[in-house]
Amino acid sequence: MAEEWRSWLALAGLGAFHGLNPAMGWLFAVALGLHRQSRAMVYLSLVPIALGHALSVALVGAAFVLAGLSVNAQVLGLGCGLLLIGWGLYHWGYRHRHRVRFGMQTGLAGIFLWSFLVTTAHGAGPMLWPILMPICFPSGATSGAAEPASIAVAGVMVHSAAMLAVTATIACVVHEWLGVGILRRVWVNLDAVWTVALLAAGTMLLIASL
């Protein structure tokens, strides 16, 4: 039971980590609010940001559940681990060459599409696999689609809610008090952190599956 609760907390923590990344949404929400000179637009922008992120993660989660119902759990774990490591190496070598580009003054539909594409390109969905595996398929069983599917849906909801909460908090603080100028003074290379996280998650999943 304690291990299961740790998995749920990890899903929420990973969502919070995604919310910290300006590329995942809050910077666009603030920029659009400043451009439209509208506080309401900052918060309205959070809806397509959250929906785009959740859709990307949900599609990857659905693929994970389908694979888990038809593939041996150990094989699935090894495959997911290799995929995460490969994705991490890709980001390490090519993250500055392949960017999802949208103008900072795009509309709500553009923000939804951009959020979906950025979440997919960053490999946010596959990062949930090491956490979902022990709670969706605790014994490696491949029968009974309802329970793994419902657990995966709940996991996506917990993850997305945490991501939205952090994104909304940062967008509010930056828009109301700090201003985007803080990015010139305080900056953390989250691309590098993200790459390390992908590699670490993939390595841990490989070790656990051996």
Beta-carbon count within 10 A of 179 CB: 11
pTM of the model: 0.79
pLDDT at 187 over 60: no
Contacts of 121 (CB under 8 A, 6+ apart): 98, 100
Average pLDDT value for residue range 84-107: 66
Mind listing the pLDDT tens digit for each residue in 103-142?
A: 455 678 888 988 898 888 778 888 888 888 888 877 645 4
Can you read off the two tokens belonging to residue 63?
């693929």
Position 180 scores a pLDDT of 61
Contact between 56 and 124 under an 8 Å Cβ cutoff? The reply is yes
Mind listing the pLDDT tens digit for each residue in 162-174?
A: 999 999 999 988 8
Position 189 scores a pLDDT of 61
How many folded domains does the chain comprise? 1
Residue ranges making up the domain that contains 50: 2-209
